[in-house]
Amino acid sequence: MSDESGCVHEKWREDFPIGKDADEQICRRDFIRFLTLVSGGLALGNASIWLKSLRPVEGTFDKLEVCKVTDLEPGSWTVFQYPDAKTPSILIRRESGEFVAFHQKCPHLACPVSYERSADGRGEQISCHCHNGKFDINNGQGVAGPPRELRPLRMVLLDIENDRVFATGLADFGGKS
């Protein structure tokens, strides 16, 4: 027999009361309701975090002097913080002499990425050593390992003025400004 809430009341409970308050007993339907509510809340929370991570960072960005052009030899790199003091980014001077910059946090599980010079017949690349992820140095797109399925590294826009390298903003995902 069940009441309006769907809870089943077995006859043996009436015949052999166990001395607990009735409201301490949880019927299967109540338990499923509780699980559904908690699972739904967790799913909504995760979905909102995921959507937020896809949204481009809005607003204007400060112009930050990163280094002098001569501070980096072709085929080398350095780390700087941009657009705020909590966001590590990498500035790479490619073997051609061109500068490129990206956020350093891997989109997979947030390990720091690093630059690798060309070697053994392969070109320059950006690597994540946690799970052997590789990124295209031209646009930050994942090309090997888990990052292949994820959003690219966020590109930092640069300006060269008077032999100094400045970070000026963030490109949209995929390297477009």
Which residues are at the interface with ligand FES (CB under 6 A)?
106, 108-109, 111, 128, 130-131, 133, 145-147
* Residue 30 CB, nearest approach to ligand FES (Å): 41
Q: Which is nearer to ligand FES, 37 or 109 (CB)?
A: 109
Q: Which is nearer to ligand FES, 93 or 134 (CB)?
A: 134
The smaller minimum CB distance to ligand FES, of residues 27 and 130, is found at: 130
Residues 60 and 53: their CA atoms lie apart, in Å, by 18
User: Bridge partners of 133?
Assistant: 128
Which secondary structure element, helix H or strand E, spans residue 101, and what is its range?
strand 99-103
Nearest in space to 101 (alpha carbons), one of 5, 170, 2 = 170
CB atoms within 10 A of CB 136: 17
Q: What does residue 124 show for φ and ψ, rounded to 5 degrees?
A: -60, 150
Minimum separation from the CB atom of position 131 to ligand FES (A): 3
Q: Residue 2 CB, nearest distance to ligand FES (Å)?
A: 50
Q: How far is the CB of 103 from ligand FES (least distance, A)?
A: 12
Residue placing its CB nearer to ligand FES in the complex, 28 or 131: 131
- When the beta carbons of 133 and 169 are compared against ligand FES, the nearer one is 133
Determine which helix (DSSP H) or strand (DSSP E) holds 64, and give its type and residue range.
strand 64-68
Q: Which amino acid is at 39?
A: S
Least distance (Å) from ligand FES to the CB of residue 12?
55
d(CA 78, CA 71): 10
DSSP β-bridge partners for residue 67: 165
Least distance CB 112 / ligand FES (angstroms): 9
Tokens 């070697």 map to which residue? 119
Q: Which one, 134 or 165, has the nearer CB to ligand FES? A: 134
The 3-state DSSP class for residue 7 equals coil
